[in-house]
Amino acid sequence: MTVTEAAPRQIQLTEDGQLKHFLTLDGLGQPLLTEILDTAESFIEVGARSIKKVPLLRGRTVVNLFFESSTRTRSTFELAAKRLSADVLNLDINTSATSKGESLSDTLLNLEAMASDMFVIRHSQSGAQHFIAAAVTPGVAIINAGDGRHAHPTQAMLDMLTIRQHKGRFEGLRVAIVGDVLHSRVARSQIRALNTLGAEEIRVIAPATLLPKDVEALGCKVFYNLQQGLRDVDVIIMLRLQRERMEGALLPSEKEFYKLYGLSVEKLAYAKPDAIVMHPGPINRGVEIESAVADGPQSVILNQVTNGIAVRMAVMSMAMSGQVAERAAGGQS
């Protein structure tokens, strides 16, 4: 499949600036990102109710279309859709028609013919969701659950919500992103979100072999030494070593990586005393992070998981509202 990306803002937003797809954070300004966070905050209490549902997507059908394996992301999207009262279809790609030779476009057309209203898509090819959003029938919302090395916007936004909850602001914060930045779509989206929301300094800490060549152009400062990079930071985001995307010998060994870049209690002491520790998961204990840190008082990793449901509820409800508004105005998707 050849992917041609249209301008992110043009595809994602209605003429009056409402969200109608959620593909990337590129082209989205601070007011919209803040609206997503505020909307997510309002959904957090839904999870504490005895009946964990609101009727915002009642009568709508959401299809989870995952071309890559996922547990946490897929399950939180499913819970989010169900808490919005949507009907949810989880399509198993391994047994679907695409594994028998059917094209992605034909699969989508057949799902649209079943009156589907929203596709949540994870794909190994960067830009796949942009291709789909440009081709999909008007009125159907596309949510990016991760595409190649390009973007994972809902993960970045749940991370931003977690930071705001614990720090109360973005202005003046120093944030360190540590580990496999080269293969991380999460890191790219986090850097974009932090810059848009006004963080003071974003640091990436990794060996040169795990950094993109243009990483500084994204708006961050590079450190190759963990202790130096962690000095006086407010937030530490550890990344998973993505073995499945690595080609060639990028690391001597996982043991050597942990020695130099793994977050231990001793290394955590270089950050501010009230620094929080985050990880998008799944965690490789003893490779990226020590268990004493992952389970320690400065860890907010489980908060991230909880916030994932609320953020995905916010994005799905806002995108569907934008699609409805555009149809009412007679616009085209």
Same domain, residue pair 189 and 251? yes
Question: Residue 8 pLDDT > 70, yes or no?
Answer: no
- Same domain? For 27 and 144 the reply is yes
User: In this predicted structure, what is the pLDDT of residue 332?
Assistant: 47
User: Which one has a higher pLDDT value, 242 or 8?
Assistant: 242
- As a whole number, mean pLDDT of residues 1-30 equals 80
Condensed to tens digits (0 to 9), the pLDDT of residues 27-65 reads: 999 999 999 999 999 999 998 888 999 999 999 999 999
Q: Are 162 and 146 members of one domain?
A: no
Residue 64: predicted pLDDT: 93
**Sequence-ordered list of residues with C-beta below 8 angstroms from that of 296, at least 6 positions apart, any chain:** 265, 277
Examine the pLDDT at 100 and tell me if it is beyond 60.
no
Same-domain status, 137 and 270: no
For residue 1, being part of any structural domain is answered with no
Average pLDDT over residues 299-311: 96
> In this structure, are 99 and 35 located in the same domain?
yes
Distance between CA atoms of residues 200 and 170, nearest Å: 8
Q: Count structural domains, the chain.
A: 2
Domain holding 23: CATH number? 3.40.50.1370
With respect to residue 3, please indicate whether it lies within any of the assigned structural domains. no
Same domain as 128, residue 221: no
Residues 142, 23, single domain; the answer is yes
Pick 115 or 292 by higher pLDDT: 292
- The string of DSSP letters for 257-316 reads HHHHH-B-HHHHTTS-TT-EEE--S---BTTTB-HHHHTSTTB-HHHHHHHHHHHHHHHH
Give domain status of residue 223, yes or no: yes
Beta-carbon contacts of residue 150 (< 8 Å; ≥ 6 apart):
24, 126, 127, 185, 188
Domain check: are 210 and 314 in the same one? Answer: no
Residues 158 and 290: their CA atoms lie apart, in Å, by 23
- pLDDT of the residue at 197: 98
Do 164 and 34 form a contact (C-beta atoms < 8 A)? no
- State the amino acid at position 279 in one-letter form: H
Q: Which of 274, 287, 174, 194 is nearest to 239 (CA)?
A: 287
User: How would residue 72 be classed by pLDDT, with cut points 50, 70 and 90?
Assistant: confident
Share of the chain above pLDDT 70, in %: 90
The verdict on 16 and 97 lying in the same domain is yes
For residue 245, the model assigns a pLDDT of: 43
Q: Which of 10-19, 103-112, 162-171, 276-285 has the lowest average pLDDT?
A: 103-112
Predicted pLDDT at 174: 98
In this structure, the strands spanning 174-178 and 118-123 are: unpaired
Identify the domain containing residue 253 by its residue range. Answer: 153-300
Residue 6's pLDDT band, with cuts at 50, 70 and 90, is very low
Structural domain includes residue 217: yes
The answer to whether position 45 is within a domain reads yes
Q: Are 157 and 179 contained in the same domain?
A: yes
Close Cβ partners of 1 (under 8 Å, ≥ 6 residues apart): 104, 125, 128, 131
Q: Is residue 72 domain-resident?
A: yes
**Two structure tokens written together for 74:** 């897929």
Chain mean pLDDT for the chain: 90
Pick 255 or 4 by higher pLDDT.
255
Q: Answer whether residue 84 is part of any domain.
A: yes
Same domain assignment for residues 170 and 289: yes
CA distance 31 to 36: 9
Distance CA 138, CA 271 (A): 48
Query: Per-residue pLDDT tens for 165-203?
Result: 999 999 999 999 999 999 899 999 999 999 999 999 999
Question: Is residue 137 helix, strand or coil?
Answer: coil
Is residue 3 scored above 50 in pLDDT?
A: no
Say yes or no: 91 and 202 in one domain: no
In a domain, 2, yes or no: no
